[in-house]
Amino acid sequence: MKFLEFINESINDKGIFKAIHMGGMPGAGKTHILNSIKSGGIEPRIVNTDKFTEHFKAYGDVKWQEYEGKIKLLTKSQLINYLDSLLPLWIDGTSASAPSAQRRDGILKSLGYDTGMVWVNTSLETSLNRAAKRERPVPPDFIKEVYKKIESLKPYYKSNYNFFVEINNDDGELTDSVILSAFRKTTGFFNEPVKNPIGQSHIKELKEKGLKYLTDLNQFDRSYLSRLASVWYTS
């Protein structure tokens, strides 16, 4: 890597100050869709606990209580680094809790991010069928309860995000054309100029001063980002 390319890393990367939340029913195939539509030219970082959870599971029959604290510490540290580097993000989750989703979206916007949502639709019948086929089947009554709650939240999210893309992932519905359409829309979102005035201001100042990271600016430091990350992962 050329020296100039190295020192310009972060501030001149594509997709900075852009984040997309994933929403929809558990088991709807959100992670699969995310991996299918994320851009090859832009590499948004995926924000969830799955990576570290799978790492600890590889050590055998370890109880969740034994590694929960370590996973939270690692995911928090990872998020701090992502935010400090202005990186584009995919927020992988169900968005089943509106207050939690609002809190996380507010953190991103306060730092200068443009945010959007990709919502994955499935029918109740499909959700029940997939839940029954899991390694650890989920009780049908629980699926019905969660399905009703998440479906009731969709109009709220749809009205709160200017960028909102719906994808149908019922059996046989996720065709190549559907994936290509979603890919083009999300790639366009990550590629377009930042609209958030806070983000625009940060980009202008960082470029004028030849800086790279949020913590290079006077109003930010690692402890501030650490507090935000703690709020992010508040239950």
Give the tokens for residue 179: 């994936």
pTM: 0.86
| Residue bearing tokens 């029918």 | 123
Side chain identity at residue 195, one-letter code? K
Architecture of domain 3-232: 3-Layer(aba) Sandwich (3.40)
pLDDT at 162: 92
Give the tokens for residue 45: 């970082």
Domain boundaries, the chain: 3-232
8 A C-beta contact, residue 45 and residue 90: yes
Cα distance between residue 166 and residue 173, in whole Å: 12
Banded pLDDT at 197 (limits 50, 70, 90): very high
Taking the chain, what is the end-to-end CA distance rounded to the nearest angstrom?
Answer: 41
pLDDT at 55: 53
Q: pLDDT of 2-29, one tens digit each?
A: 434 444 457 878 899 999 999 888 777 7
